[in-house]
Amino acid sequence: MDYRKIIIDSIQSNLYDKQVLSELIAAPKDAGMGDFCIPCFKLAKEMRKSPAVIAEELASAVKTGGILEEVKAVAGFVNFRFDKARFAQQVLNDAIQAGENYGKNDEGKGKTVCIDYSSVNIAKPFHMGHLLNTALGGAIYRIYKALGYEVVGINHLGDWGTQFGKLIVAYKRWGDREDIEKRGVRGLVDIYVKFHKEEETCPELSDEARSWFKAIEDGNEEALELFEYFKRITLKEVSRIYDRLHISFDSYAGESFYNDKMQPVLDELSDKGLLETSNGAKVVKFQDDTMPPCLLQRSDGATLYATRDMAAAFYRKKTYDFDKCLYVVAYQQNLHFQQIFKVLEMMGCQWHKDMIHVAHGMVSLESGSMSTRGGNVVFLEDVLNTAVAKAKAVIEEKNPMLEGKELIAEQVGVGAVLFGVLYNSRIKDMVFSFDKVLNFEGETGPYVQYTYARCNSLFEKCGDIGEEIDYSGLDNEECRAIVGLIEKYPEIIKESAKKYEPSVVTRYVVDLSQAFNKFYFEHKVKGEAEGIKNARLLLTKATGQVVASALSLLGIETPQKM
């Protein structure tokens, strides 16, 4: 049932722009005020009246009746209240009939969204610094999928640059193939760190590294064999971690993929008179001087990140004809993307407006920022393993006879880490702390997962939902709050997609879990009259279903028992 349409249709006046009113309809912050509200503050300037006066006039123009039971103007808001029983019946039936598709729609049908995220570096560790980027991208990917978009997940691998020359030098001098086969990226990191320490007293190593990277560029057989070996070792390891995080990609086209696709971009820029020479380098200058020139080719002919990102943009537009291309990358790269998008605009690419930098904060250690060359990193796999071990310890203490302890510990531990980094706004910096991320109380992943398990436990105690349903059993503050939140879920998914903000979903599912747990402690289910019991079981079923759906958008699984 479209409650917003019911509200708009009830307004018996042509003095208001009903499309504008429809967009203003929201759920009140205080559920006791009603089921929906129209805040009138944005109307005040245009109508040259105070919000309170507009609210009074608007409320007086509403015709109640049927499911719309009451309307009131309060402090600049028009609050709408629906018939409790009919409202609850319709919301819960809609949710349960839709099943796992509740909240999803096809608004994005026929549209394509490319999402560039994670972008791991070959031969470098998958550390905590990659977690926020990877978790955000994965969640945004699933959220857009839920809205019917064709989504292309792209892992723009960091697989080009002089660091590979350094790694070849390090491998040939100090590498042990058997050790690297056994320890994977950790073995590569050790020799990479050693290179930088040795370089301090032996600067000729830098020249040797540049020579080996030139050999890669020139197609030298030994150089390419080692380059591909490092890549294979890295992808094998990160794929294992991606599987644990429930992350997948549709493309692994990285920087090296665009090696032969950059020159046509440079040629087009030159043909259009946009490419200038500055101290031997090739740059694009901006007329308003609000940004420094975009450097696309060094004086020695070497290309840069910007050159490859330009080539990637053209390739993605041609290959996928995207409606949006999102770059989930830390805010440190704000200037980089502003320059890229502006250059595309100057080239006459109308689709530059569809390129969006989804900026996010940085993750640092309590002891400072992470650095691979300095060896100061926290491997993400170690964090996940620690979280899982902690979850298992709690299970052993609280429920040692629980079946499937290993799987549940994995679901809870990994879920706790993911939920922890997705709970706050993406733009906020995060100082990583084991104590905070692995806190299993409060507004956390395990708390929400336990709410889902609690929903399941009620059915074990009470049996299935019978035919007799008395919706008056839901006419209390706790049940009304849950029904209102369940009705709101489809809009939550839309809002999250619009803002590129998974924390909208994360905070919502905490609110829903808290509302359900309050109901659980305040009201009986088992032992109530049959109709009331069944109504509350219906509420429980819909709650569990929406909790599981919301967590799945975040990449988090829901154990049946905990």
Q: Which two tokens stand for residue 60?
A: 């007086």
Residue 127 among the catalytic residues: yes
What kind and span of H or E run contains 277?
Answer: strand 275-278
> d(Cα 354, Cα 519) in Å, to the nearest integer?
44
Q: Which two tokens stand for residue 350?
A: 């109308």
Among candidate residues 300, 157, 289, 165, the one with its CA nearest the CA of residue 227: 165
- The DSSP call for residue 26 is B
Residue 124 among the catalytic residues: yes
Q: Which two tokens stand for residue 485?
A: 């939140």
CA geometry: angle 377, 387, 438, nearest 5 deg: 90
> d(Cα 390, Cα 446) in Å, to the nearest integer?
12
The active-site residue, picked from 130, 156, 166, 352, is 130
Among candidate residues 487, 474, 410, the one with its CA nearest the CA of residue 445: 410
Among candidate residues 409, 411, 403, the one with its CA nearest the CA of residue 390: 409
Whether the Cβ atoms of residue 292 and residue 239 lie closer than 8 Å to each other: no
Whether the Cβ atoms of residue 561 and residue 453 lie closer than 8 Å to each other: yes
The active-site residue, picked from 124, 390, 488, 533, is 124
The active-site residue, picked from 29, 72, 104, 127, is 127
- What is the distance between the terminal CA atoms of the chain, rounded to a whole angstrom? 35
Among candidate residues 219, 233, 163, 221, the one with its CA nearest the CA of residue 192: 163
Helix axes 163-174, 204-218, angle to 10 degrees: 110
> d(Cα 141, Cα 419) in Å, to the nearest integer?
16
Distances (CA, A) of 538 to 452, 476, 544: 14, 15, 10
117, with CB counted inside 10 A (0-12, 13-18, 19+), is: buried
Among candidate residues 359, 408, 414, the one with its CA nearest the CA of residue 384: 414
- The DSSP call for residue 368 is B
The CB density around residue 266, as the number of other CB atoms within 10 Å, is 17
CA geometry: angle 60, 61, 62, nearest 5 deg: 95
Residue 282 CA, distance from chain mean position: 36
Residue 438 CA, distance from chain mean position: 20
> d(Cα 291, Cα 391) in Å, to the nearest integer?
49
CA geometry: angle 414, 192, 332, nearest 5 deg: 60
The catalytic residue positions are 124, 127, 130
